[in-house]
Amino acid sequence: MKNTILGMMLLFFAFSTQAQEQKSKNAKYEFEVNGNCEQCQKRIQKAAFSVSGVKSATWNVETHQMVVIINEEKCSLLDVKKAIAKVGHDTEEVKTTQEVYDNLHGCCKYERK
C-alpha cells in the first residue's frame, strides 16, 4: 500500500514539473513597417490581426515600429509581414507590390526604399 501511494506521488510530481518546464508559445517581436498616418495604422494592425495566432498588434505612427505578440505554434513572424505587405506596406523583409502600393490613398504613400 505504501509503495502504491509513493508511486502515485512520484508520478504526480513528475507530471507537475514537466508542465512547468514547457516554454511559452507566445513570442514578442518588434520591426519597422512603412506608413504615414492613422489610416495606415488601422490598415496595418487589421492586416496583422487577420493572421491566425496574432495575440497583439500595435503600430506606432511616429516611429513606424510594429510590436506583435504571436503564438508561434499557429503562425510565424513572416506570415504577419506577408499579410502587411498584401495591404500595401513594406517591411524590411517583405515588400508590397507596386500595384498594391499605387492603390493606397494619397496620404498613405510613403517613400519606398
Looking at the whole model, is its pTM more than 0.85?
A: no
5 vs 59: CA distance, rounded Å: 55
pLDDT digits (tens, 9 = 90+) for 32-57: 999 999 999 999 999 999 999 999 99
| φ and ψ of 95, to 5 deg | -105, 145
pLDDT of residue 15: 61
110 vs 4: CA distance, rounded Å: 70
Split at pLDDT 50, 70, 90, the class of 21 is very low
What the chain holds in terms of domains, given with CATH numbers, is 24-108 (3.30.70.100)
Is the CB of residue 52 less than 8 Å from the CB of residue 74? yes
Average pLDDT, the chain: 89
pLDDT of residue 113: 81
